[in-house]
Amino acid sequence: MTSAAGGPAAVATGDWTPSSWRSKPIKQCPEYPDEAALRRATAELDQLPPIVHPHEINRLKQNLRDVARGEAFLLQGGDCAELFDYCRQDRIESKIKLLLQMSLVLIWGANKKVVRIGRMAGQYAKPRSSPTEIVDGKEVPSFRGDILNGFNLEDRQLDPQRLVKAYNHSAATLNFIRASLSAGIADLHGPLNWSLGHVKDPELKAKYTKAVHFLQDMLRFMHTIGADRASELATVDLFTSHEGLLLEYEQSLTRLMEDPTHRSRDAASDGTSSSSAQYYDTSAHFIWIGDRTRQIDGAHVEFFRGIANPIGIKVGPTTPSTDLLELLRTLNPDKEPGKITLITRYGASKVRELLPGHIRAVEGSEYKRCVIWQCDPMHGNTRSTGSGIKTRRFGDIFQELQETLAIHQEEGSYLGGVHLELTGDAVTECMGGSEGLDEDDLSTNYTSFCDPRLNEKQALELAFLVADHYRKGRSELD
Q: Which residues are annotated as a binding site?
A: 80, 119, 314, 345, 379, 421, 451
Which are the contacts of 120, defined by CB distance < 8 A and separation ≥ 6? Answer: 78, 79, 82, 86, 92, 95, 173, 177, 240, 241
CA distance 299 to 49: 25
420: number of Cβ within 10 Å: 24
SS3 57: helix
Residue ranges for the known binding site for Mn(2+) are 80, 379, 421, 451
Q: DSSP secondary-structure letter at 142?
A: P
- How many other β-carbons are positioned within 10 Å of the β-carbon of residue 177? 21
Q: What is the DSSP string of 292-360?
A: TS--TTSHHHHHHTT--S-EEEEE-TT--HHHHHHHHHHH-TT--TTSEEEEE---TTTHHHHHHHHHH
Q: Rounded CA gap, 429 and 444, in Å?
A: 9
From the annotation, which residues make up the binding site for phosphoenolpyruvate? 119, 314, 345
- Work out the number of other CB atoms within 10 angstroms of the CB of residue 32: 18
Distances (CA, A) of 235 to 51, 135, 177, 214, 374: 21, 46, 11, 21, 25
Where on the phi/psi map is residue 29: left (φ > 0), alpha (ψ -120 to 50), or beta?
beta
CA-wise closest residue to 257 among 404, 60, 54: 54
